[in-house]
Each structure stands twice: as structure tokens, then as C-alpha cells.
């Protein structure tokens, strides 16, 4: 008998399983890796100041303190490297844009996340007549390497099984969950954008977003920072960069398109002044929600069914903190933040 069966072994399910196992719970993750999985397509950027309005992300202090502690701790424990802090340069569009920021940066909360002076990049490499805002505490999680390390650890704990979970085969009673020959006290869905097909939680307003990303080779370019204007340029290794990404609400399958590639390449050409060559192209579906907040909590009728999902385009920054909060909720009856509690939808 398990305490928790977790459906989905992406960033959300694997991290939550790690937290619960460390607290002594008996856990089994069921994951079908060949399905679309947003986590392995993700660029892995974490950045505390986002959006057109250059706003501080929700609970930035808690999120960023937690992620800067959590990922390096796991690197040591797993003996693998996947966490790369990098400054993030957001290029200004105009003098107006630059001035708006200069007024705004006096607001409280920004201090620990920014370099106050406007930065200028080498004009021969990057078109940046209005300079850039330099954001600190940003960087990249190599999501593939992270998931591989975590799934190997889960395998070593006999806590993951790679198979499809058939929603119609689950028997739910108030005391126990039965799934084929497995029994559990509770079931937690971390099934990403597949929540749309989940008969228990498809009542929530999910709004998955298709996204495409390119890998490009750019000789003699910045390898020590992320640069963003319309698209991000994120260094990986050996003059290779991830560039993206697109947002498309009409495509429901994780297919790459020539329109997506063209959109990214056009924006990249406007920003980067040197030649580049596209060497890779991927697509995935972000598990986004209508109000752009995660979905955490208990099913309104079945007390032993839970969801931990809806991380949209920010799973890398949200999941370390929210998995800690959710573990505390499951094991110690702690309250969930109302912004992410699915009670808000009822
Ligand atoms: C192009 C693109 C770029 C992105 N870039 C970033 C970025 O830079 N930074 C960032 O923070 N986020 C980024 N994201 C978003 C990020 O990928 C998500 O926030 C995060 O990965 C969500 O993790 P998850 O575990 O909830 O979902 P998923 O990664 O989708 O994992 C769900 C898992 O559940 C499994 N599953 C579902 N149904 C079943 C079933 N019935 N049986 C068995 N297994 C099942 C799937 O196979 C999958 O393994 C990006 C996404 C895309 C598409």
C-alpha cells in the first residue's frame, strides 16, 4: 500500500515525489515518458522580473530563495550538474521604455534582483541602442539533466514505473485508491497539459499553450548571460544557444512548424548582428491555466484525489517552492496560498 501514487514524472511530479519520499512517505510515480512532456522541451530559464510590464514575479523572494537553495542541494546529492545561474539582460525597446523602467525601479522589492545602472552590450554583436536592464538571480536549469538525475534517484528508491496511466482503470473510494494491482491512500495528478483529458480535473479551466524553441549556433557571441528582446538567447555549450519561444493557443499537438521557426529566426535577426545557423527545433505544450496561476489542491468530491499542476511557462521557478508548500499541506495540514488553491475555481 502506497501513501501516494503520483501520475506524471515531469518537473512537477518528480520534484514532489522527491520531497514526499524525503519526509518518509511511501510513493510511486507513474510516468509515460514518450507522451508530450513540456519539461524536456523547456529552455529552463528562471527570471524574477518578467512580462512586458517588467513586473516582479509572484512571491519572488520566497520562490527565488528556495530555487537557489533547492537545485544546488540536489546537484550535490545526485552528483550531477544542471543549475547555471546567469544574469538576464532585457533590452529596452525605446527611450520611453527605458524611462519607464528608471521611474519604476524605485518601487520596493526590486533591489536584490537588479543592477541599477543601465547596461550596454557590444553594438557589433547586439542591436541595443537603448541599453538593457540587468536582472540578477536568473539563470538556466538544464531540465533534461535534472530530470534524468531525479528519475535515476527515484528508480534507486523503487519509486517510479514507466507506463501509461489509464484514467478509466482507477477505482476511487473514500478509504482507498486501486489502480490495477496497486493500492494507495491517495492519488496526485501531475500530468501536465494532459490534465485536459483527466476526467477528475478536466472541470478546471486549463488553457494549454503550444510553444516552439530553436537551437542555434552563433560564433563569438555572449556565453555568460541570457539576452532577451522578443526572444531569449540562452547559452548552453560550445557556441550553441536556445532561442525562443513561441506562444500558440490553437495548436494542440507538440508539432514543430515552419511558421514557428520563421517567427523565432526573424526576431533573432533583429537582435543579433552576427550570422547564426539553426541546428535544432522542438515543440511542447505548456500546462497553462486560464488565470495564469498554478492548480494545487484537493478534488471537491473525492478527498483522496489531488492535483499539483498548471505551472504554465514558469515551472522551473515555481516548482521548488510550491512543492515544499504542497508537501506541507499534504503531510501537516498546512494551508495553501489562496492564489494557487483550486478552491478559487469552485
Ligand atoms: C517551448 C517551451 C519552452 C519553455 N521554457 C520554459 C522556461 O524557460 N522556463 C520555465 O520555467 N518553463 C518553461 N516551459 C514550461 C515548463 O516546461 C513547464 O512549466 C513545466 O515543465 C511543467 O512541468 P509538469 O511536470 O507540470 O508537466 P510536464 O512536463 O508536461 O510533465 C507531465 C508528465 O506527465 C506524464 N503524463 C501525463 N499523462 C499521463 C498518463 N496518463 N500516464 C502516464 N504519464 C502521464 C507526461 O508524460 C509527462 O511526463 C517551457 C515550455 C515549452 C513548451
Question: Tens digit of pLDDT per residue, the chain (346 long)?
Answer: 999 999 999 999 999 999 999 999 999 999 998 776 799 999 999 999 987 778 889 999 999 999 999 999 999 999 999 999 999 999 999 998 888 888 877 777 888 898 878 899 999 999 999 999 999 999 999 999 999 999 999 999 999 999 999 999 999 988 899 999 999 999 999 999 999 999 999 999 999 999 999 999 999 999 999 999 999 999 999 999 999 999 999 999 999 999 999 999 999 999 999 999 999 999 999 999 999 999 999 999 999 999 999 999 999 999 999 999 999 999 999 999 999 999 999 7
Alpha carbon of 3 to those of 25, 80, 277, 331, 344: distances in Å?
6, 29, 50, 10, 26
- 88-135+209-286: same fold as 2-42+144-205+291-345? no
- Residue that is written with C-alpha cell 533547492 in the block: 70
| Centre of ligand 1 from the C-alpha of residue 208, in Å | 11
Closest ligand 1 atom to Cα of 284: 53
Helix (H, G, I), strand (E, B) or coil at 88: strand
| Centre of ligand 1 from the C-alpha of residue 287, in Å | 7
Q: Domain 2-42+144-205+291-345 is in which class?
A: alpha beta
| Centre of ligand 1 from the C-alpha of residue 37, in Å | 5
- Rounded Cα–Cα distance for residues 265 and 177 (Å): 49
Please report the pLDDT score of residue 213 as a whole number. Answer: 98
Closest ligand 1 atom to Cα of 234: 8
Per-domain boundaries in the chain: 2-42+144-205+291-345, 88-135+209-286
- Rounded Cα–Cα distance for residues 25 and 19 (Å): 9
Asked: is 88-135+209-286 a CATH 3.40.630.30 domain? The reply is: no
Pocket probe for ligand 1: among 6, 36, 39, the residue whose CB has the most ligand atoms within 8 Å is: 39
Q: At what angle do helices 11-22 and 315-332 cross, to 10 degrees?
A: 40
Those residues with Cβ within 8 angstroms of residue 218's Cβ, 6 or more apart along the chain or in another chain = 233, 239, 241, 272, 274, 275, 276
Please report the pLDDT score of residue 36 as a whole number. Answer: 66
Amino acid at each position: 500500500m502506497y501513501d501516494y501514487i503520483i501520475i506524471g514524472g515531469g518537473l512537477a511530479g518528480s520534484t514532489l515525489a522527491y520531497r514526499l519520499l524525503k519526509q518518509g512517505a511511501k510513493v510511486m510515480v507513474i510516468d509515460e515518458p514518450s507522451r508530450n512532456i513540456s519539461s524536456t522541451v523547456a529552455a529552463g530559464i528562471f527570471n524574477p522580473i518578467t512580462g512586458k510590464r517588467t513586473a516582479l514575479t509572484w512571491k519572488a523572494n520566497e520562490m527565488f530563495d528556495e530555487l537557489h537553495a533547492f537545485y544546488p542541494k540536489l546537484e550535490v546529492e545526485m552528483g550531477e550538474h544542471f543549475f547555471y545561474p546567469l544574469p538576464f539582460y532585457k533590452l529596452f525597446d525605446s527611450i520611453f521604455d527605458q524611462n519607464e523602467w528608471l521611474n519604476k525601479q524605485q518601487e520596493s522589492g526590486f533591489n536584490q534582483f537588479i543592477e541599477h545602472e543601465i547596461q550596454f552590450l557590444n553594438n557589433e554583436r547586439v542591436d541595443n541602442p537603448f541599453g538593457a536592464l540587468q536582472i540578477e538571480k536568473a539563470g538556466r536549469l538544464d531540465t533534461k539533466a535534472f530530470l534524468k538525475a531525479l528519475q535515476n534517484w527515484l528508480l534507486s528508491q523503487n519509486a517510479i514505473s514507466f507506463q501509461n496511466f489509464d484514467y478509466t482503470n482507477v477505482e476511487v473510494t473514500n478509504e482507498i485508491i486501486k489502480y490495477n494491482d496497486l493500492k494507495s491512500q491517495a492519488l496526485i495528478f501531475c500530468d501536465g497539459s494532459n490534465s485536459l483529458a483527466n476526467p477528475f480535473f478536466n472541470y478546471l479551466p486549463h488553457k494549454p499553450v503550444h510553444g516552439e524553441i530553436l537551437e542555434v549556433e552563433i560564433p563569438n557571441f555572449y556565453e555568460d548571460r541570457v539576452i532577451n528582446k522578443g526572444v531569449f538567447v540562452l547559452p548552453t555549450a560550445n557556441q550553441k544557444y536556445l532561442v525562443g519561444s513561441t506562444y500558440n493557443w490553437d495548436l494542440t499537438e507538440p508539432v514543430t512548424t515552419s511558421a514557428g521557426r520563421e517567427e523565432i529566426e526573424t526576431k533573432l535577426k533583429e537582435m543579433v548582428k552576427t550570422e547564426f545557423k539553426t541546428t535544432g527545433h522542438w515543440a511542447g505544450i505548456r500546462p497553462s491555466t486560464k488565470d495564469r496561476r498554478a492548480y494545487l489542491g484537493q478534488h471537491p468530491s473525492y478527498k483522496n484525489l489531488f492535483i499539483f499542476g498548471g505551472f504554465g511557462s514558469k515551472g522551473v521557478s515555481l516548482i521548488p517552492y510550491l512543492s515544499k508548500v504542497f508537501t506541507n499541506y499534504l503531510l501537516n495540514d498546512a494551508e495553501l496560498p489562496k492564489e494557487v488553491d483550486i478552491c478559487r475555481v469552485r
